[in-house]
């Protein structure tokens, strides 16, 4: 091996050794926050949050929690991160941050707000498919976000019934409940239109049993009458019709259903 090659190799090794700490120094120099106190980090994060720069706020909150994991600033940063993620359109991160806060600070004076934000996050995820109640194939619609949102709001109103956020949560729960009932009803219609009457009845019964106070419940009974009749089960059809007559005596379908059940085979 020549002396020239050895000199070149040594120079390369020395340059790499010098460059590595140099890169680290440049990286540290580029981070303007490296000497910031917890108060400074929180102040800048709060300003970014108030100005609608949620991504920047999240970055500052993350640094604050990493560098100063204890104390009131870290606690407040964790709380406000939930809102920042929610407004930044990062639902998974918002829910995860909410769960962490609830687990870490279950007695925090604003933990009810975190429950509310978690519910809102899932509510917004649910609004797309459930606002369009007539998808091409309703059996493929995912209602899990709506169910989770309902659960989140229910946790809030159960644990904190006097919370300032409870009235809005209850109103949203009513909306979600009616939409979930409509979703199940659409699935029942879908099955009935294809002659799958057992599946149609099962879905309709689910609506009647779980969403009895929703507007969808009476139409679910109509589906049950028609499907039981089509299945050759007139007694069950008559039972469903009697429940419909009792709960919605002015339903416009009752005359036709009465005729249908009256002409069904097996009337006794």
User: What are the tens digits of pLDDT across the range 72-131?
Assistant: 899 999 999 999 999 999 999 999 999 999 999 999 999 999 999 999 999 998 765 444
Look at residue 2 in the predicted model and tell me its pLDDT: 52
171-194 confidence digits (pLDDT tens) = 999 999 998 999 999 999 999 999
SS (H, E, C) the chain: CCHHHHHHHHHHHHHHHHHHHHHHHHHHHHCCCCCCCHHHHHHHHHHHHHCCCHHHHHHHHHHHHHHCCCCHHHHHHHHHHHHHHHHCCCHHHHHHHHHHHHHHCCCCCCHHHHHHHHHHHHHHHHHHHHHCCCCCCHHHCCCHHHHHHHHHHHHHHHHCCCCCCHHHHHHHHHHHHHHHHHHHHHHHHHHHHCCCHHHHHHHHHHHHHHCCCCCHHHHHHHHHHHHHHHCCCHHHHHHHHHHHHHHCCCCCCHHHHHHHHHCCCCCC
Q: What is the pLDDT of residues 8-32, one digit of tens each?
A: 554 454 445 444 554 444 444 577 8
């Amino acid at each position: 091996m020549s002396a020239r090659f050895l000199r070149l190799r040594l120079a390369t090794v020395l340059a790499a050794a010098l460059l590595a700490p140099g890169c680290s120094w440049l990286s540290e120099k580029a981070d303007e926050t490296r000497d910031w106190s917890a108060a400074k980090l929180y102040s800048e994060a709060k300003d970014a949050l108030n100005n609608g720069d949620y991504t920047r706020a999240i970055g500052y909150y993350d640094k604050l929690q990493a560098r100063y994991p204890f104390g009131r600033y870290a606690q407040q940063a964790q709380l406000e991160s939930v809102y920042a993620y929610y407004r930044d359109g990062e639902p998974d991160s918002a829910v995860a941050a909410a769960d962490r806060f609830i687990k870490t600070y279950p007695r925090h004076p604003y933990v009810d707000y975190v429950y509310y934000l978690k519910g809102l996050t899932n509510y917004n995820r649910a609004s797309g498919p459930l606002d369009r109640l007539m998808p091409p194939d309703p059996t493929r619609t995912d209602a899990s976000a709506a169910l989770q949102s309902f659960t989140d709001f229910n946790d809030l109103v159960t644990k904190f019934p006097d919370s300032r956020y409870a009235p809005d949560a209850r109103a949203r729960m009513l909306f979600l409940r009616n939409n979930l009932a409509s979703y199940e009803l659409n699935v029942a219609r879908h099955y009935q239109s294809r002659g799958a009457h057992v599946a149609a009845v099962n879905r309709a019964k689910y609506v009647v049993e779980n969403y009895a106070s929703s507007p969808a419940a009476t139409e679910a009974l109509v589906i049950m009458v028609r499907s039981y009749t089509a299945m050759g089960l007139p007694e069950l059809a008559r039972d469903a019709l009697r429940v419909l007559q009792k709960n919605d005596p002015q339903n416009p379908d009752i005359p036709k259903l009465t005729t249908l059940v009256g002409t069904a085979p097996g009337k006794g």
